[in-house]
Amino acid sequence: MPKKQKTPAKKEETEVRIVINQAQEYGTSGLKQQSGFIYEAYNSALFYPNAYAVYNKIWRAMPEMAMIRLAFTTWARSVSPTVDLPDKPTDDDKRYQEFIEQDFGNMEGGFTTLIDTMVNYIPFFGFGWWDVAPAIREPEWVPPPYQDKDGKPWKDEWRSEYDDGLIGLRRIGWRDLSTFAGWEFDGRKKVIGMKQQDYPNPIITLDKNHSLHMTFGNPNNPEGITPLESIWRLERIKYGLEVIMGIGFEHSAGFLNAKKTEKGTLTTKDEQNVKAAARAILTAQEGNYALWPFGVEGEVMDIPFQAAGNLLEAIKYYGILALSVYMMQFIALNTMTNTGALASQVDSTQMGIFSFNAMLDGFAAQYDEQIGKRLYQWNKNSFPNLTKRPTIRFSHMDNNLAMGELGNFLRSIQGIVPLGEDDMKAFRKRTGWMPENNPKPEDVIETKTEPAPPPQNDELPMPDDATVKRASATSEMIREALFVNSRARRE
Q: What is the pLDDT of residues 359-395, one digit of tens each?
A: 999 999 999 999 999 999 999 999 999 999 999 999 9
Omega before 49 within 30 of 0, i.e. cis: yes
Return the pLDDT at 448.
53
Report for 124-138, 262-276, 302-316: range of highest mean pLDDT: 124-138
- Average pLDDT of the residues of the chain: 81
SS3 462: coil
Same domain, 104 and 247: no
Contact indicator for 116, 165 with CB cutoff of 8 Å: no
Same domain, 367 and 430: no
- 453 is a domain residue: no
- pLDDT of residue 341 exceeding 60, the answer is no
Return the pLDDT at 430.
61
- pLDDT of residue 244 exceeding 70, the answer is yes
Alpha carbon separation from 157 to 57, 108, 172 (Å, rounded):
35, 10, 15
Return the pLDDT at 479.
46
Q: Are strands 146-147 and 211-215 parallel, antiparallel or unpaired?
A: unpaired
Please say which residue of 266, 288, 319 terminates a domain: 319
Alpha carbon 329 to its chain's center: 15
Contact indicator for 125, 222 with CB cutoff of 8 Å: no
- 420 is a domain residue: yes
350 membership: H or E segment, kind and range: helix 342-367
- 15 is a domain residue: no
Q: Assign 474 a pLDDT band (cuts: 50, 70, 90).
A: very low
Same domain, 210 and 265: no
Q: Assign 111 a pLDDT band (cuts: 50, 70, 90).
A: very high
Q: Assign 89 a pLDDT band (cuts: 50, 70, 90).
A: very high
Same domain, 395 and 346: yes
pLDDT, tens digit (0-9, with 9 covering 90-100), for 141-186 = 999 988 776 777 888 999 999 999 999 999 999 999 999 999 999 9
Say what percent of the chain tops pLDDT 90.
50
Query: Based on the structure, what is the number of domains in the chain?
Result: 4
Q: What is the mean pLDDT of residues 190-211?
A: 94
Same domain, 144 and 283: no
Range of the domain at 211: 27-227+326-400
- Specify which residues 207 forms β-bridges with: 193
Same domain, 281 and 427: no
Q: What is the mean pLDDT of residues 48-53?
A: 96
Same domain, 368 and 418: no
Same domain, 277 and 379: no
Which residues contact residue 70 at a Cβ distance below 8 angstroms, ignoring those fewer than 6 apart? none
φ and ψ at residue 195, rounded to 5 degrees: -85, 135
Please say which residue of 344, 379, 400 terminates a domain: 400
For the question of whether the overall pTM of this predicted structure is more than 0.85, the answer is no
Same domain, 80 and 154: yes
Tell me how far apart the alpha carbons of residues 302 and 282 are, in angstroms, rounded to a whole number.
Answer: 12
Report for 240-249, 336-345, 425-434: range of highest mean pLDDT: 240-249
Return the pLDDT at 441.
52
Alpha carbon separation from 199 to 132, 179, 196, 203, 245 (Å, rounded):
22, 8, 10, 9, 41
Of 7-11, 83-87, 320-324, least confident by mean pLDDT is 7-11
Q: Where are the extended beta strands (E) located within 239-287?
A: 255-260
Return the pLDDT at 490.
46
Q: Where are the extended beta strands (E) located within 110-179?
A: 127-136, 146-147, 153-154, 167-174
